[in-house]
Amino acid sequence: MKTLKDKIAVVTGGNSGIGYATAKILKEQGASVIITGRRTEAINAAAHELGVSGIVADQGKLSAIENLVRTIKEDFGAVDILFINAGIYLGSDIEHVTEELFDGIMDVNFKGAYFTLSRFIPILNDGASVIFLSSNTASMNGATTSAYASSKAALNSTMKIAAVELAPRKIRVNAVSPGPIETDLLKKQGLNDEQLQEIKEWIIDRVPLHHMGSAIDIGKMVAHLSSSESSFVTGSEFIMDGGMSL
């Protein structure tokens, strides 16, 4: 069903994982999709596979965000759907956290996401939908997650205030907070198959529904929040973690 026909959608961090899956679903539902990411080769490959437009942009740099907005305005006009998905995870206990690690997380996850919304506001159509990718860690208290969880908690606060500020233009702002999702993130940590399996089993034991989610699950929620079916929903956080945070 083409519920997003004639909509222009932007997905940051769209070359892999949740961003890639969401871009695929948005396109299937009729939207014209633009994905962004830091790595030229990865963005070009993903855009080709998905049959969407790709633009290289680093969410951690304000100048790159502003260039991205200028490019999209020139090439596509206004935007109807903005999925601010790009983010990174780095863990450390509070005692040993470095300034470099702290700044790295905050520059992308909070400052970058904040200014992505800020700079896109002038080219959002009235009635547009903005969705932040947050995390269930924002409302949990796991050791070694302080910087990451704080970046997402700050994002949730921004989301609610933006929902109030943009309501006069009927622009809705929400957040999706996944828990454990099956992506390539763990594989990128250099773990072998046995170690990956042990970690997955450890995670699943802590999820009441007893399985990990999929990137498609998140993409479907983003598509729902982008459609007229959620026209009365704004300023809300949707935790999708199989009950883990309970």
Query: Which residues belong to the active site?
Result: 148
Name the amino acid, one letter, at 204.
I
Q: Which helix (H) or strand (E) holds 124?
A: strand 124-133
Q: How far is CA 82 from CA 69, 89, 132, 182, 197, in A?
A: 12, 21, 8, 23, 35
**Residue 81 per-residue DSSP state:** E
Q: Which residue has the tokens 């796991």?
A: 142
Q: H-helix or E-strand containing 199?
A: helix 193-204
**Residue 17: left if φ>0, alpha if ψ -120 to 50, beta else—which one?**
left
